[in-house]
Structure 1
């Protein structure tokens, strides 16, 4: 009984060793290798047809079922394989994406430049405003009763206030300032904004000219009133005149004349 157990154990162990033996089939190895990465070599297709294609194994494996199998490269990474085509398509799509990205970046840059030139928030950064129009419009943007009436004599200021000239001028300046601030803060084309500056600067210069004329007229009126008052009060000496004064003046002119 003991010998029988030993014999059965030995048979089972030997059967297990036989079941784990390595089987090497060149046909299977070549097929698995060429389908993955290796060259599609027609000489590595086993079994070979043999002399005059008389090998029966060749006919059982290839000849009867798929005689042209070895003539077509079926590797995924072959020059015309599906994986190669997919990679080429991916590369082409990447190239197309790069072109689209470049075009999008160009459109973005153009849009940002247009927004910067049209946005009212960035109008103060305009070079023409910084170099010219800001200085020209500074009196308009910063005007006040002190800046308008402060440099004038008190009597002239009182006259302008009494006849309503100051109220009219202040109202016109307020409306013009509101127009200017609207042009600065509104989104518009840079050319339209500059033309608006130009028109408003002309209006401001015309309005300033009217104010200067009215100030000068008020000063002249006050001077005339003062002179008239002096004459009325006889505070101004009047030279005594006689009919002989004209004759004396004429003779004096004739004596001093040079021919």
Structure 2
């Protein structure tokens, strides 16, 4: 037990000493490295350290000779005697990259604006094309809904004069007999089909309203035809009724006149023969 406690007392100071020793970082301040950093970034081209030292005209600095001098690699001398290759000089590669990056950023913003515009336009076009939004269209709500409601509420397959909105059953039966109802049924089926297509199919907004307008014109023509058939058949039935009454009265008058005339002749000549 005492031995473990002693080991702990020795270990703790050693741990703190090691942590303090490793925590200290020595700062290296080499003038040649600093000059290289300045040269390679943006400050100026030159300041090639270490500098040469001459004694009686002879370069005696061994460090310079091994880095830049005759003992140095050929690539070091080509670098020192070559062109300014600072990446951050006014026309340096990094400056060109940054300029190009800024240009690409602006182009990306323009493309994003165009894409957003196209997206918004596509959403609007989709809203105009889709049949799911036709009931919310302002022009439909303000005009065509009211004008086409009678067509929508008209029975698909009318079976009596009330559903056909005729005057009476005799007119309906007469139209049924002369083919007027069959003609109107075909017209009604076409109008119903066009109305359904204009409300359920996906199409451009302009084309949809053209179909609304064509359907509305067709519905007005249908109503005019229906009224014309109704009036003509009613007039026909009235004329037929009047003609029947007149014929009955004429036949009755002629019949009475013939009997009277025969009696008169018989009364006048019954003693002469």
Q: TM-score range by the shorter chain?
A: 0.5 to 0.7
The equivalent of 1:178 in structure 2 is: 193
1:205 Cα offset (Å): 1.9
Contact 1:34–1:75 (CA under 8 A) maintained in structure 2: no
Distance 1:33 1:68, change over 3 A: closer
The match for 1:62 among 59, 64, 68 is 68
The match for 1:110 among 121, 128, 131 is 121
Matched, 1:26 2:41: no
Contact 1:74–1:81 (CA under 8 A) maintained in structure 2: yes
1:164-183: CA deviations, max 9, x gaps? Answer: 43343123201221123224
Distance 1:88 1:217, change over 3 A: same
The match for 1:214 among 212, 229, 232 is 229
Unaligned regions of 5+ residues in structure 2, if any? 1-25, 254-273
Distance 1:230 1:39, change over 3 A: same
Structure-1 separation of matches of 2:28 and 2:103: 43
Distance 1:103 1:216, change over 3 A: same
Structure-2 separation of matches of 1:139 and 1:213: 18
The residue matched to 2:123 in structure 1 has which SS?
Answer: helix
Structure-2 separation of matches of 1:25 and 1:105: 53
1:55 Cα offset (Å): 4.3
Structure-1 separation of matches of 2:236 and 2:29: 127
The normalised TM-score by structure 1 is 0.61
Distance 1:149 1:78, change over 3 A: same
Matched, 1:133 2:144: yes
With CA pairs under 8 Å and 6+ residues apart, which has the higher RCO, 1 or 2?
Answer: 1
The equivalent of 2:98 in structure 1 is: 87
Distance 1:70 1:108, change over 3 A: same
Range that drifts further, 221-230 or 170-179: 221-230
Count of residues paired in the alignment: 214
Distance 1:156 1:52, change over 3 A: farther
Distance 1:177 1:123, change over 3 A: same
1:227 Cα offset (Å): 4.2
